[in-house]
Amino acid sequence: MTSKMRSILISTLLLNGILGFSINATASMSCGSRIESDPLHPNQTQKHDLACRQAPIDVNDQASLQRGAALFMNNCASCHSLKYLRYERMAQDLSIPPALIEQYMKLTNGKLTDSIDAKMDPVLQKKIFGTVPPDLSVETRVKSPDWVYTYLLSFYPDQTRPFGVNNTVIHDVAMPNVLDGLHQQVGDQAFQKQVGDLVNFLNYAAEPAQRERKIYGIIVILFLFIFLIPAYLLYKEYWKDVK
């Protein structure tokens, strides 16, 4: 095997490995499971993995991100922090006037440069819920937006649980169904849309620079394409005497 062939083979394998890993990482994410009795063996049970629902993510949909931010601040921020996102950055990125943030969204008396954290006492939270509500800054990157979307749409009544609800994604969940009031008020379809906005916002919060990153990526590729023309002409010029 020539060294050229070998290097082509190695780079193909590497590329395959990277692509395969990223595809597997998304495909393997399951959204909980359901235990059912086995029809062939009545004494046995079967565990079925539940597929995730697809979250409507669009990081360029500014209106959706703004609605999601408002929903998060009104319904989630009292228990969950977003430690890696500052109010000021959110105001800039989502074009929300700082005065509105100051008046309606900020949870503490701190500054706009503070991170989104209601500073709830974790010891008290542990006492109330049995577990501390986790920081959600990178939740959609750890679990995937589809997982979070499915989780928020999978609460069901269960009177044996402390808050009267359970969840198919996290079995015996410790979180109350805080969006139930909204769900009752607006109906299934509008509720799903609002949860979609909320997850869209959480997905933005997990990587606030992702919009710029994508724009820079396109600019760099464009530059390389345009640069190809003088590079090709130069190549022709340099080699014309040699050949």
Cβ distance to ligand HEC smaller for residue 87 or 155: 155
Cβ distance to ligand HEC smaller for residue 65 or 136: 136
Cβ distance to ligand HEC smaller for residue 59 or 178: 178
**Which residue from 98, 78, 80 is spatially nearest to 88, judged by alpha carbons?**
98
Cβ distance to ligand HEC smaller for residue 17 or 157: 157
CA angle 131, 192, 90 (to 5 degrees): 65
Cβ distance to ligand HEC smaller for residue 6 or 126: 126
- List contacts with ligand HEC (CB under 6 A): 75-76, 78-80, 129, 131, 133-134, 136, 139, 143, 148, 151-152, 170, 173-176, 178-179, 198
State the nearest-atom distance from the C-beta of 195 to ligand HEC, in Å.
Answer: 8
Radius of gyration of the chain (CA): 25
Angle between helices 62-75 and 188-206 (to 10 degrees): 100
Residue of minimal CB distance from ligand HEC?
76
State the nearest-atom distance from the C-beta of 78 to ligand HEC, in Å.
Answer: 5
- Helix (H) / strand (E) element for 37: namely strand 33-37
* φ, ψ dihedrals at 56, nearest 5°: -80, 85
State the nearest-atom distance from the C-beta of 112 to ligand HEC, in Å.
Answer: 22
Q: Evaluate whether 228 touches 182 at the Cβ level (below 8 Å).
A: no
**Which residue from 54, 68, 81 is spatially nearest to 144, judged by alpha carbons?**
54
Cβ distance to ligand HEC smaller for residue 32 or 133: 133
Q: What is the DSSP string of 111-129?
A: -TTSEE-----HHHHHHHH
Amino acid symbol at 78: S
State the nearest-atom distance from the C-beta of 170 to ligand HEC, in Å.
Answer: 5
How many residues are listed for the chain in this entry?
Answer: 243
State the nearest-atom distance from the C-beta of 152 to ligand HEC, in Å.
Answer: 6
State the nearest-atom distance from the C-beta of 176 to ligand HEC, in Å.
Answer: 5
